[in-house]
Amino acid sequence: MSKQNLDRLCAQFGYDMAQGVNRAFSKALDTENLITKSLGILQEDGVYAFFLYLASQIKGDKKDKRSEGARTLANQATELLKHEWLKLIQVDDGEDAYKKAMEEIRREGGLASNLDQLLLAKRLLEQALIYARYHAKALE
């Protein structure tokens, strides 16, 4: 990993997460609620539970705001973990990249197999979601 400012990276992803989720909801309070609930699950239950929670919120209907907000957040989180500075997971881009991220986390030799990388992933996601929550509050 190169010497980069990871806090700046989290701030950028936090901003992108808040903006993307808010585009889906068009309501700052709903944006803040999804981000806050997702952050709580990440902190209490871990990285895989965070993705699993978001996957449970995603329905097949593209017009469902909650579903689109959750998909956006899950895919942004995936983008953070696969960022070129980190390469904590290796997945292709796509509309449902988060599904591949979940497979990558739980596979033998995947992210969950390396405690140091898993803890780094959790910490980076937490920081990005904290920034996202504050960006969402600022939307109001």
CATH number for the region 6-139 comes to 1.10.520.30
Find out whether 58 and 74 touch, Cβ atoms under 8 Å: yes
Q: CB-based contacts of 23: which residues, under 8 Å, 6+ apart? A: 72
CA dihedral 23, 133, 13, 110 (to 10 degrees): -110
Amino acid at 65: K
Residue with tokens 């904290």: 130
**What are the domain boundaries of the chain?**
6-139
SS3 4: coil
Q: How does pLDDT run along the chain (140 residues), one tens digit per residue?
A: 445 799 999 999 999 999 999 999 989 999 999 999 999 999 999 999 999 999 999 987 667 899 999 999 999 999 999 999 999 999 888 778 999 999 999 999 999 999 999 999 999 999 999 999 999 999 96
pTM equals: 0.92
